[in-house]
A and B are shown apart, each in its own frame.
Chain A
Amino acid sequence: MRMTTSDEALAQAAASGDRDAFAALLARHYDRLFGLACRLLGNRAEAEDLTQDICVALPAKLQGYRAEAKFTTWLYRVAMNAAHDRRRRMASRGRAADGWGDWEVNRRHANAEEADRTDWLTRAMAQLKPDLRDTATLILAEDLTQSEAAEILGVPAGTIAWRMSEVKKALRARAAEEMTP
């Protein structure tokens, strides 16, 4: 049954022209993709456009998929590259490459508590350098292992470990700053 077919099998079928497989695969991963885009770009509108771009580019990209990697890892890599491209373009259009600046306006706050949390997230993310932000997203939000993150970002696993310690440091510094009025 299709719903239980592995991502990898679907991806291979899709690469060879099985449109059902492709539809099922994309439906399965769309939400994840959008979530990732939001976290990487920190701006809903940009994330929506990025998600759309990835969706449209995916059929072509899939033809290069060779089942060497887990499909999700492969998809993250595609998304990550697309996000980096978009950041560059955002920068070249004279906008802050850093969408996190206006993150808070992109969230509809159900309550004050959520608003606070979003504010906190915005400040926390804004203080991180983009590569730390990407790493934190993959490890924390996407629950990937350090080696998966390393594969996606194309860096050694040790770099991921180091970046995560940098993330911790930055957060701790922030926390200390907030404690002292």
Chain B
Amino acid sequence: MTDDDDLDALRAALKASPAPDPARKQADLSAAMVAFEKIHTPAQESEDAPRPSIDRPIWGRLTQGAKRMFNTLTTKAGLTVTTGIVTAGLAVAVFLPMQQVGVPADMTLRDPARTTAAPTSGVQTTTERRELRLEKFADEGARPAAEALQSQPQPRTTATEDAAPAPAPQVFQEPFTTDREALAEPAPHLDRLMIAPENDTEAFANAAENPLKVVAEDPVSTFSVDVDTASYAVVRQSLMAGQLPPRDAVRVEEMVNYFPYDYPAPEAGGAPFQPTVTVTETPWRDGTQLVHVVLQGEMPVIDERPPLNLVFLIDTSGSMAEANKLPLLQQSFRLMLSELRPEDQVAIVTYAGSAGQVLEPTPASDRTKILTALDNLQSGGGTAGQAGLQQAYSVAEGMAEDGEVTRILLATDGDFNVGLSDVDQLKDFIADKRDGGTYLSVLGFGRGNLDDATMQALAQNGNGQAAYIDTLNEARKVLVDQLTGALFPIAGDVKVQVEFNPAQIAEYRLIGYETRALRREDFDNDKVDAGDIGAGHRVTAIYEVTPVGSPARATQPLRYGAAETVANPLEELGFLRLRYKEPGATESQLIETPITADLGTATTETRFATAIAGFGQLLRGSDQLGDWSYADAIALATEGRGTDRFGYRAEAINLMRLAESLSR
């Protein structure tokens, strides 16, 4: 080997040095600008003095600001915002992965002894200094920038001035805003900044609003029931954070189905659920009617319920460390534990880097052992969900005995970056296990990374519920109050099909259920999977229908196609068909009932459901409501408040008020 080879090898190795962490880089650049300001504008120095960071929830502020910005960027037309503002927003937001959300490898590699031993010199450690600076941005940078974004679109100059009272964000705007030509050519660090949105990787499952259908052309509407309520909790969490939810996060049917309604229960010995159809006037449009189709599931006698085998499959990846994730999850499961019976069994499997069984199948009576295992859960490491999933299923299969109900409760903040990275493969795996008798429910925690789409997909394939848990109250509602419903299916593959009578109804529109549409022929095909109804669950579907001859009709009747329908003498509005399977059965049962115009009158229940349906459509930005507003929704919901034992409806009305203020 020659000398030059040696040197070349060393040169190549040295040049392969690591790239800077983008978050660190931004923090450093900001810090440098603060230092620059101090030197060149000494008058500001007192204002710039860092405040103590200990007694302030700086990370909360930081995340709020950053989230608000991202949400605003994605929900509204972020593109119209100036590059400068975007840059400023991102510059603040990129702190998240470093300190809070992620646990980048390089952070974990830091020698803890070094950071703690440092203050010998009596000088602040670098870590402390960094926090002080970050706090400053959280306070002064994030909020004005976010506000400017929310009130966009604004002319770029105005936005820039408004958004930049603090020195820090200016750092990133001005090089580019003062020199317009430079905008054409992004500065090198812009590339890195654009990495930031990965921190907010929420994905929501939704589809375009169901279109108006003309009965003469398409008289049959078919969909699968949906007892999930995750969407409502996500909407609530957004509104509580002072932000209108992303439109795709709003699934109207899940919002409607979130609430308990008082409908007649099925008679003992009959079908496991009782359909109720009510026809009411539409509050947001004269000349149309709302057809409420409600399926009320039976409530089996709790004492007679079969023993439960529960496997908690818990995401303990680093991102779960936030207070509203793993700690909330632990509290939630603690609540639920008190509802279990001695003969029930619980096991805990975690996934994070390596999957592991933390708690072997243990009778629910051994509370101490279960609670200890639960309390010992710690977040950390990467996420490898699939290995954990397989282990959870094998544990569950080991617990299952005849006559028992076995279910896996997957709790995650949305990390499914797993061995089976293909969602379809994962779904197949879960569907396969479902056919073997092990069900899966998904509980979502925290925001920012919530993969609602995957959650929905997995729960639907696992015959389970997808719920989003944002507060301990919600945990109580999902896991305790509805323990039986969430865990005991009473009817499987429940499909709804409504055929409208063209002699009576000209047009119809199904409100919500966009993600649950089924093909017409799938209704009678027992091989096609659909949603389940659990004990005590109820499902509401609302159609807006336009009677023949109504002035509200949006389409002109066909000149040549009308002949045969006129001959139809029936006064029925339509015909409701339901298919369901008894738990474990492979053949479906059919329930049929005509829908007539005289069915029922508006009650507090239908009013409230209508108000929520309207609220959901408002949040989705639907163009179907005319000038019907949040104020109308509030009035209607207040009318439909009823007894509201647990205050769910009152809470919804408050959310409507929040949305009204936020949408102005």
B-binding residues in A (CB < 8 A): 1-3, 14, 17, 19-20, 22-24, 26-28, 30-31, 34-35, 38-39, 44-45, 48-49, 51-53, 55-60, 63, 89, 93, 95, 105-108, 114, 117-118, 120-121, 124, 136-137, 140-141, 164, 167-168, 171-172, 175
A-B contact pairs, 18 of them (CB 8 A): A3-B185, A17-B40, A19-B36, A19-B171, A23-B29, A38-B17, A44-B109, A51-B20, A51-B28, A56-B28, A59-B35, A59-B36, A60-B39, A106-B18, A107-B18, A118-B16, A140-B15, A175-B1
Q: Given A3, A30, A124, which contacts B10 in the complex, CB threshold below 8 Å?
A: A124
- Counting from the closest, the 4 A-B pairs by CB-CB distance are A121-B13, A171-B6, A141-B14, A55-B32
Annotate B1-19 by CB proximity to A: 1 below 8 A, 0 otherwise.
1010011011111111111
- Check A27 against B189 for contact (C-beta < 8 Å): yes
What A residues does B3 contact at CB under 8 A? 168, 171-172
Task: Please pick, from A17, A93, A106, A108, the residue contacting B114 in the complex, using a CB distance under 8 A.
Answer: A93
B118 pairs with A136, CB closer than 8 A: no
B336 interface residue per 8 A CB criterion? no
Closest chain A residue, CB of each to CB of B177: A20
User: Are A63 and B20 in contact (CB-based, < 8 A)?
Assistant: no
User: Do A175 and B6 touch across chains, with their CB atoms under 8 A apart?
Assistant: yes
Residues of B within 8 A of A107 (CB): 18
Residues of B within 8 Å of A35, CB to CB, are 17
Q: Is the CB of B126 within 8 A of A53?
A: yes
Given B6, B27, B117, B172, which contacts A168 in the complex, CB threshold below 8 Å?
A: B6
Please, which residues of chain A bring their CB within 8 A of the CB of B181? 1
Contact B18 A23 (CB under 8 A): no
Which chain A residues lie closer than 8 Å to B40 at the CB level?
17, 19, 59
Query: Hey, which chain A residues are within 8 Å of B189, CB to CB?
Result: 27, 30
Q: Evaluate whether A108 and B28 lie within 8 angstroms (CB atoms) in the complex, with A27-B175, A59-B35, A93-B120 already known.
A: no
Distance from A69 Cβ to chain B, minimum over Cβ atoms (Å):
20
Question: Is the beta-carbon distance between B33 and A23 smaller than 8 angstroms?
Answer: yes
CA separation between A120 and B114, bound complex, in Å? 26
CA distance A49 to B7 in the complex (A): 29
CA distance A140 to B126 in the complex (A): 30
Instruction: Check A118 against B18 for contact (C-beta < 8 Å).
Output: no
Distance in angstroms between the alpha carbons of A164 and B182 in the assembled complex: 41
- Tell me whether B179 and A2 are in contact (CB under 8 A): yes
Q: In the complex, which residues of chain A have a beta carbon less than 8 angstroms from the beta carbon of B117?
A: 93
B29 touches A26 (CB 8 A): yes
Extra pairs beyond A19-B37, A52-B130, A56-B31 (9, CB < 8 Å) = A1-B181, A19-B174, A23-B174, A31-B188, A39-B17, A53-B126, A60-B35, A171-B3, A171-B9
The answer to whether the Cβ of B110 comes within 8 Å of any Cβ in the partner chain is yes
Checking A17, A52, A172 against B24 with a beta-carbon cut-off of 8 angstroms, the contacting residue is A52
- Residues of chain A within 8 A (CB-CB) of B286 are none
Q: Are B120 and A55 in contact (CB under 8 A)?
A: no
Q: How far is the CA of A28 from the CA of B661 in the complex (A)?
A: 44
B585 vs chain A, min Cβ distance (A): 52
Minimum CB–CB distance from B405 to chain A (whole Å) comes to: 44
The residue of chain B having its C-beta at the shortest distance from the C-beta of A122 within the complex is: B13
Report B232-259 residues with CB < 8 Å from chain A CB. Answer: none
How distant is the Cα of A28 from the Cα of B25 in the complex, in angstroms? 12
Minimum CB–CB distance for B40 against chain A, Å = 4
Contact among A93, A105, A140 for B11, CB-based, below 8 A? A140
Interface presence of B586 (CB below 8 A): no
**Of B17, B121, B178, which one neighbours A141 at CB under 8 angstroms?**
B17
Residues on B lying within 8 angstroms of A by beta carbon are 1, 3, 6-7, 9-21, 24-25, 27-29, 31-40, 105-106, 109-111, 114, 117-118, 120-121, 126, 130, 170-172, 174-175, 178-179, 181-182, 185, 187-189
Residue from B9, B35, B179 in contact with A57 in the complex, judged by beta carbons closer than 8 Å: B35
In the assembled complex, the CB of B4 is this many whole angstroms from the nearest CB of chain A, namely 9
**With contact pairs A3-B187, A23-B175, A30-B25 given, residues A45 and B106 touching in the complex (Cβ less than 8 Å):** yes
**CA A60 – CA B1 in complex, angstroms?**
47
Closest to A50 in B: B126
A168 touches B7 (CB 8 A): yes
For A27, give its contact among B38, B111, B188 (CB under 8 Å).
B188
Which residue of the partner chain, among B13, B28, B34, contacts A124 with CB atoms under 8 Å?
B13
Contact B126 A22 (CB under 8 A): no
Given contacts A1-B179, A2-B182, A121-B10, contact A108 B188 (CB under 8 A): no
Specify the chain A residue showing the minimal Cβ separation from B3: A168
Taking CB atoms, residues of chain A closer than 8 Å to B121 are 89
Residue of B16, B18, B126, B187 near A52 (CB, 8 A) is: B126
Bound: A22/B34 CA distance, A: 11
For the complex, give the distance between the alpha carbons of A106 and B111 in Å.
11
Chain B residue nearest in CB terms to A14: B36
Residues on B with C-beta less than 8 A from A51 are 20, 24, 28
Counting chain B CB atoms within 10 Å of each CB, the highest count among A27, A137, A172 belongs to: A27
Instruction: With both chains docked as a complex, state the minimum distance between the C-beta of A45 and any C-beta of chain B, in angstroms.
Output: 4
Contacts of A39 in B (CB 8 A): 14, 17
Report chain B residues within 8 Å CB of A120.
9, 13
B187 touches A27 (CB 8 A): yes
Residue of A nearest to B117 (CB): A93
Shortest CB-to-CB span from B648 to chain A, Å, is 48
- Write the nearest CB–CB distance from A39 to chain B, whole angstroms: 6
* B172 close to A23 (CB less than 8 A): yes
CA separation between A56 and B39, bound complex, in Å? 11
Determine the distance from Cα of A53 to Cα of B187 in the docked complex, in whole angstroms.
23
Closest to B120 in A: A93
The reply to whether B35 and A58 contact each other, CB–CB distance below 8 Å, is: yes
* Complex Cα–Cα for A28 and B120 (A): 35
Q: Report yes or no: A93 in contact with B118, Cβ–Cβ below 8 A.
A: yes
B41, closest chain A residue (CB): A17
Question: Measured between alpha carbons, how far is A145 from B83 in the docked complex, in Å?
Answer: 39
A118 to B16, CA, bound (A): 9
In whole angstroms, what is the CA distance A44 to B39 when docked? Answer: 29
A51 and B31 CA atoms in complex are apart in Å by 11
Chain B residues near A58 (CB-CB < 8 A): 32, 35
The answer on a CB contact under 8 Å between B36 and A172 is no
A55 and B31 contacting across the interface, CB-CB below 8 Å: yes
Residues in B with CB closer than 8 Å to A60 are 35, 39
Given contacts A38-B18, A59-B35, A121-B10, contact A24 B118 (CB under 8 A): no
Taking a contact as CB atoms closer than 8 A, the residue among B28, B172, B175, B178 that contacts A30 in the complex is B28
Expressed in whole angstroms, the minimum distance between the Cβ of A180 and any Cβ of chain B is 13
Complex Cα distance, B40 from A63, in Å, reads 10
How far does the Cβ of A43 sit from chain B's closest Cβ, in whole Å? 9
Q: Which residue of B lies closest to A95 (CB)?
A: B114
- Is there an interface contact between A171 and B175, defined as CB atoms closer than 8 Å? no
> A112 CA to B15 CA in the complex, in Å?
18
> Which of A1, A3, A56, A140 interacts with B32 by CB under 8 Å?
A56
Q: When chains A and B are docked, how far (Å) is the Cα of A9 from the Cα of B33?
A: 18
Task: A111 to B588: give the CA distance in the assembly, Å.
Answer: 54
Q: Closest residue of chain A to B106, judged by CB?
A: A44
Max chain A C-beta neighbours (<10 A), residue from B12, B17, B121, B174: B17
Residues of B within 8 A of A3 (CB): 182, 185, 187
Whole-angstrom distance between the alpha carbons of A59 and B36 in the complex?
5
